[in-house]
Structure 1
Amino acid sequence: MKLFLSLILLGTLSLFGEPNWACSYDKAFEQAEKEHKGVMIMLSRKNCDACWYMENIVFEDDELTERIEKNFVPLYLDVHDDNIHGLTYIGTPTFYFKKSGGRTIKRLDGASNLKEFALSLDEIEKSLKK
């Protein structure tokens, strides 16, 4: 019974937090065009502590996740395993915020706490609407 309840709780927790990542680069831009949104690309890699922090701490905030999904189609790309479509990075994570047509609005390098990321989104969202 405890195992059953634990599995239900785990399944419920997965409904919240972390963005609903698009399945591919092309699909992300198609969806963004259709929904009149931008694209938020997270360049990441395995065993990246700063990436883990963003995914498991910052993106677990439901309000932030809702805000991201309201304005952007989130796309997660592993710099070693996925085609990163010519995007450059110094380290991971690196975030690209793009308009649906592909123009870069802003690039953010590295991890940031919830408050800093939300403040960056303020500026980026204003640029998205221009």
Structure 2
Amino acid sequence: MKFAQITFRMLTVLAVASQFNIAAVADDAEAAAATETPSGWSTNFSESLDQAEKSHKLVLADFYTSWCGWCKQLDKTTFADPEFMQYLNEHFIPVKLDAEDHGEGQRTAEKNDVSAYPTGLVFAPNGKVIGRIFGYAPAAQYKAKLVKIAKKGPKYK
């Protein structure tokens, strides 16, 4: 009888543990989908600066983290707006940088004192920050901020 009770308890523990494992796998898949880079965005800051110099554009670096709810909202709304993206691609080289990736994103965030997310930094092609956009903004407001920053930035003819 004791053997049957122990076996039943062990099976119950295994069943509960497997449910947590399934939930963890689902959470991992959801997190991976949420951090996918939107179309048209680079993930390489150095290459983006090179491209900006060749095309006489500025660089918009969007600093995000995988856990940031407002970062995900920015991707779903502002950065998914076709009119906004058309303006962005005409005037900027867009790059998304994970501020906690232990690579270029984290180094660039630390070098430029980025500690809140989302943060957008506008860079001249020489790597100098010429503007900052903090937090979430709908497409029209984000675009207005970019226009204002671009007006005071380097001029190309």
The verdict on a shared fold, with TM-score over 0.5 as the criterion, is yes
- Which range moves more in the overlay, 18-27 or 62-71? 18-27
- Please list, as runs of the form range in 1=range in 2, the aligned pairs for 1:22-37 lying within 5 A after superposition: 22-37=42-57
SS in 2 for 1:88: coil
| Structure-1 residue corresponding to 2:83 | 63
TM-score (ref. length: structure 1): 0.80
Contiguous gaps of at least 5 residues in structure 2: 1-37
C-alpha distance after superposition, 1:49-90 (max 9, x if no partner):
100111111111111101111111111111111323212223
- Please list, as runs of the form range in 1=range in 2, the aligned pairs for 1:7-46 lying within 5 A after superposition: 18=38, 20-46=40-66
- Which range moves more in the overlay, 42-51 or 20-29? 20-29
| Structure-1 residue corresponding to 2:115 | 90
Please state which structure has a larger fraction of its residues in helix. Answer: 2
Offset of 1:20 from its aligned partner?
1.1
| Structure-1 residue corresponding to 2:10 | none
SS in 1 for 2:116: coil
- Contact 1:19–1:74 (8 Å) recurs in 2: no
Equivalenced residue count is 113
Larger RCO, structure (CA 8 Å, separation 6 or more): 1
| Structure-1 residue corresponding to 2:68 | 48
TM-score (ref. length: structure 2): 0.67
The 4+ residue runs of structure 1 with deviation greater than 3 A are: none
When the two chains are superposed, the root-mean-square deviation of aligned CA atoms in Å is 1.5
